[in-house]
Amino acid sequence: MSKCRAEAAAGAAGILLRYLQEQNRPYSAQDVFGNLQREHGLGKAVVVKTLEQLAQQGKIKEKMYGKQKIYFADQDQFDMVSDADLQGLDGKIVALTAKVQSLQQSCRYMEAELKELSSTLTTPEMQKEIQELKKECAGYSERLKNIKAATNHVTPEEKEQVYRERQKYCKEWRKRKRMATELSDAILEGYPKSKKQFFEEVGIETDEDYNVTLPDP
């Protein structure tokens, strides 16, 4: 068991040392764990312990920032970089940044185009939609044809006559309702019982009993 642990520790040390040298920037133990956990499956406790051991062995550097330890590669192992080299690297960074931005913009355009194409009907779907619309139009055409061929159409004159008769009967209905109301009110002035009892005894049925309302004029 101890041999397996030693091999695992040695493997973790190699992974972390190589990572810090390749990245050549400061990291906390939490940062290193988050960046490598998915790829290498290293546990946080292993990462913390291995980084401390590498620092004690002088293979990496360790500094305290507040309450947090920061680890980074030993800079003595790297060649000195001149100002010209730094300027060249800065130029490459600017060029690569512009390239990344251009690629990101292209990706956004392609994503928008893909979304638009995904929402568009395919040729078979469009053909099916056309057939269904044709069938629907044919049904409407047949109905329209039958309506036009019917002989029981109401003429404008007949329609106007119906409206006039309706108005006439509604007017008479309103007149008789008013007369009946006035008559019953006059009787109820000397009637000892309630209006409801009077209607029940006499046998009067009102529009309200049958949820009927007088149409508007």
Q: Say whether pLDDT at 212 is over 60.
A: yes
How many whole angstroms separate alpha carbon 204 and alpha carbon 184?
A: 10
Task: Show the DSSP H helices in the chain as ranges.
Answer: 2-23, 29-40, 44-56, 83-118, 123-149, 156-188, 195-202
Q: Say whether pLDDT at 122 is over 80.
A: yes
How many whole angstroms separate alpha carbon 177 and alpha carbon 41?
A: 92
Q: Give the tens place of pLDDT for each residue, 61-73.
A: 999 988 889 999 8
Q: Say whether pLDDT at 79 is over 80.
A: no
Q: Is the Cα dihedral 24, 30, 35, 41 positive or negative?
A: positive
CA atoms within 13 A on the CB side of 74: 11
pLDDT at 215: 79
By mean pLDDT, which of 1-15, 61-75, 155-169, 174-188 is the weakest?
Answer: 1-15
Nearest partner of 184 among 203, 169, 171, 170, judged by Cα: 203
Q: Give the tens place of pLDDT for each residue, 14-45.
A: 999 999 998 988 999 999 999 998 888 888 99
Average pLDDT over residues 161-183: 89
pLDDT at 1: 39
CA atoms within 13 A on the CB side of 185: 6
pLDDT above 90 coverage of the chain, percent? 32
Element containing residue 213 per DSSP (H, E): none
pLDDT at 8: 53
The long-range contacts involving 19-22, CB below 8 angstroms and separated by at least 24 positions, are: 20/60, 20/71, 20/72, 20/73, 21/73, 21/77
Element containing residue 68 per DSSP (H, E): strand 68-73
Average pLDDT, the chain: 86
Confidence of residue 96 (pLDDT cuts 50, 70, 90): very high
Confidence of residue 104 (pLDDT cuts 50, 70, 90): very high
